[in-house]
Amino acid sequence: MSISALSDLIDPAKCPRLVLKVGSALLVGVDGAPRRDWLAALVAEIAAARGRGQEVLVVSSGAIALGARRLGMDKGGRGSLSDAQAAASVGQIALAGLWAELLGQHGLIAAQILLTLDDLEDRRRYLNATATLGRLLSAGAVPVINENDSVATNEIRFGDNDRLAARVAQAAEAKGVLLLSDIDGLYDRDPRAPGAQRVPLVRGVTAEIHAMATGGSSSGLGSGGMTSKLQAAEIAELAGIALGIVDGRPESPIGHALGEGSGTLFLSRGKRRARKAWLGGRMRVKGSVHVDAGAAKALARGSSLLAAGVTAVDGAFERGDVIAVIGPAGAVLGRGLSEYDSADCALLLGHSSHKHAGILGYAPRSAIIHRDQMVML
Ligand code: GLU
């Protein structure tokens, strides 16, 4: 039973586990104070979902915005990295306390998890997060997750909770993600432009879909915007997860959006094996190899990438790093774990496998990327 409508996201039979992402502008008012009444109504919706037998994980933003107000920082605490780190530190306690209190009013136990990018990029740490989330859910708790902004630096951070939510859904093996936004879905052009139409259903985040997204966060409180939501949808669809965007602003936003039939649903591209799903969602790519037309065709048929079809190597990477595979027309065809470091790849390119031992002086692997370690995009 796959998810084909937004309302399926709250159907425990079709979506037994849901990740709900709540943005900063919804949680924190323009005065910098938490929007308690709105959040209390949302928590009642979460409690109702739990009552129907659906497990819910929350990805909650708002730490930086809440902390900035308490520390008297300007620009919502986003003026500099050190401001954001300090603000998040102060705001996260308040944020977690708020969730714990309001969930507690429904007899639900909140569990805080703070993640950094590497916790989900590194396979071992990713599996560790999967185990923790699974145990929390089986114990009946509601995980409330945010990025660990106090220690994250620009190089090692997600920076937006949209992609974090999609990655968490993968780690938690959820079938659906619901992003509560300050807009009621994706529009076919700038939503303020005359004649702009909401796109209710998206089958695959294509270049045409990307062209519809405009700019960053409209509220100035979060860091998301439609661009990061589309990136989240891409991670989700590759992992076999459906992703919805609905307007989070009304009271009880989930019921409101489903009642009205508004929002955008991004369909998944079917189920992927867990390891491939993790690989497809990896965000940091260390380098790339360019391939010729023959290799591109073989890859599309599911073959491994052989050095004979590689025409160029970019970047400095180690064996086991994720690299992109770029086709003759310049499009990224896929991503996979390299069997060689970049220097060895450069020595091997264009040469067929039986020559590798002679070139490198050691027993070679037969492929640059083995097909089990590769996802086509
Ligand atoms: N992690 C940030 C916070 O808690 C929010 C990131 C975002 O805006 O998506 O404030």
- Are 6-278 and 285-376 equal in CATH topology? no
Q: What's the token pair of residue 157? A: 């951070």
Q: Say which residue, 194 or 359, is predicted with more confidence.
A: 194
Is residue 197 within 8 A of residue 39, CB to CB? The reply is: no
Give the predicted TM-score (pTM) of the model: 0.82
Domain extent listing, the chain: 6-278, 285-376
CA distance 161 to 147: 7
| Shortest-distance Cα residue to atom 6 of ligand 1 | 160
Fold entry, domain 285-376: 2.30.130
pLDDT (average), residues 235-260: 94
With a pLDDT cut of 90, the percent of the chain lying above it is 59
The confidence score (pLDDT) of residue 220 equals: 46
pLDDT tens, position by position, 193-218: 899 999 999 999 988 898 888 654 45
- State the closest ligand 1 atom to the C-alpha of 223, by its place in the atom list counted from 1: 8
Q: Whose CA is nearest to atom 5 of ligand 1?
A: 61
Q: Which residues line ligand 1 (CB under 6 A)?
A: 24, 61-65, 88, 146-147, 149, 160-161, 222-224
**What pLDDT sits at residue 344?**
87
Strand order, beta sheet including 310-314: 310-314, 287-291, 322-326, 332-337, 374-376
**Ligand 1, pocket-test mutation among 64, 69, 75, most atoms within 8 A of CB:** 64
pLDDT for 207 equals 86
Please tell me the residue having the least CA distance from ligand 1 atom 2.
61
Closest of 264, 292, 268, 290 to residue 281, by C-alpha: 268
* 119-130 pLDDT, tens digit each: 988 888 888 999
CATH of domain 6-278: 3.40.1160.10
Return the residue matching tokens 């900035």: 68
pLDDT digit string (tens) for 160-184? 899 999 999 999 999 999 999 989 9
Tokens representing residue 73 in the block: 């920082």
Residue 359 tokens, joined: 């070139």
263-273 pLDDT, tens digit each: 999 999 876 67
